Amino acid sequence: MTQHSTLSNNFLIRMHHGKEALRAKIISNRGRNIKKGQGFLLKPKHLRFEFIAIEAINYPITVLCRCMQVSKSGYYYCKTTPQSPRSRQNDKIILQIIHAFKHSRKTYGSPRIYHQLKA
C-alpha cells in the first residue's frame, strides 16, 4: 500500500456524518459530484425520485434524498405505489405526440399535431 492511499484511507476513516461524509463519497466516486444532480433539483419530485433510483447503486438512499431535497418516506412511497390511470394515459398521449412530430419530419407545431391527433 502506498503512502498516498494510506493517508487517504486514514482521512476517510476520520470522516464523520454531514458534509465531510458527503465529500468522502464524492472523493471515492472519482470526483463525481452528486450534488450537481444534473439539474434535477429544479425538476418535479417524480423525476427526482427516478434519479435517486438510478443513483442508488452508487450512493445511500439517505444521502441522495437529502441532496435531492425529498423525504425518504416520499421516495419509498413513490417506489411502491403503482402508476395512476391518468398518468398512464398521459404517457400514451406523449408517445403519440412524439410519433406525430417525428412523422412530420419535425415540422408540425402544436396546432397541427393537435388536429392530427383529434382526427
| 24 pLDDT above the threshold of 80 | no
Q: Which helix (DSSP H) or strand (DSSP E) does residue 1 occupy?
A: none
- The model's confidence at residue 13, banded by pLDDT at 50, 70 and 90, is very low
Helices (H), the chain: 3-14, 19-28, 45-55, 61-67, 72-80, 85-103, 110-118
pLDDT for 32 beyond 90 = no
The larger pLDDT score, comparing residue 69 to residue 13, is at 69
pLDDT in tens, 70-90: 999 999 999 999 989 998 999
Per the prediction, the chain carries an average pLDDT of: 77
